[in-house]
Amino acid sequence: MRRRLIVGNWKMHKTAAEATALVHRLSELVPQTGEVEVVLAPPFTALHAAAQALPLSRPFALAAQNLHWEDEGPFTGEVSAPMLKDLGCQYVILGHSERRHSFGDDDKKISKKVHAALRHGLRPILCVGESLSDRKKRRTKTVVTGQLRKCLEGISKDELRTLTIAYEPVWAIGTGHAATPAQAGAVHDTLRATLARGWGAEAGEQVRILYGGSVTPENVGAFMASDQIDGALVGGACLDPQSFATIISLAQRVAR
Ligand code: PEP
């Protein structure tokens, strides 16, 4: 059985001091994560503070929200995989729709980022998802499987096992209109079938597929009850410690 994973994407929120306070509060509210793995993704500037604020038992792992595919060089404003490893990151979110739509991250660039992360032992959390117009045109499956295949080109079976996929319909991110568990589950099935076709059923079975898009304490239980959904990528609701702690505790309690 795949271990459930809850990821909090802080986006461009929290100074270093605020990150310290949030990690301390979360550590009080969620002393043990047990069956559920929890990953926090602060902005680059707060990663060090968040790492320092984690208790020795480290109930949470850290993720970055992006990286550059080169290790170093003349890339003003960019941050590389070795730099993130050095800060204590274990994961990196790649291909988030906000990066795809506002910062020119296309499948080719994302693929280079996935390879860079894997080269340095960072576990990618690869986001895929269709726009509202794609969904209306019934192109959801074509779009997400295309993104998956292009972003994972050249990945070995062993590398695939370390990867997490987040299905994030663009129309559900930050809108308050989450997909239904049935809508998400259907796309998750398609994604898993694509993984099985490309890398074999056994490797494909090991990849966690998360749902993301307006996940809240109120709706997370329904997503967790689905055996097609291995966890959640949470944006807005992860900035409030009580909400995020409730989401984690429901992920621990709700049986599939
Ligand atoms: C996200 O940013 O990945 C996300 C899912 O945001 P929200 O939960 O706010 O929709």
pTM of the model: 0.97
pLDDT at 26: 96
DSSP-derived 3-state class of residue 236: helix
- Beta-bridge partner residues of 40: 8, 62
Q: At a CB cut-off of 8 Å and minimum separation 6, what does 185 contact?
A: 226, 228, 229
Ligand 1 pocket residue status of 6, Cβ below 6 Å: no
Regions of the chain short of the pLDDT cut 70 = none
CA 96 / ligand 1 centre spacing (Å): 9
pLDDT at 4: 96
pLDDT at 20: 98
Residue in 9, 65, 125, 126 to alter for ligand 1 test, most ligand atoms within 8 A of Cβ? 9
Ligand 1 pocket residue status of 41, Cβ below 6 Å: no
Distances (CA, A) of 102 to 43, 105, 116, 224: 17, 8, 22, 30
Mean pLDDT of the chain: 96
CA 73 / ligand 1 centre spacing (Å): 32
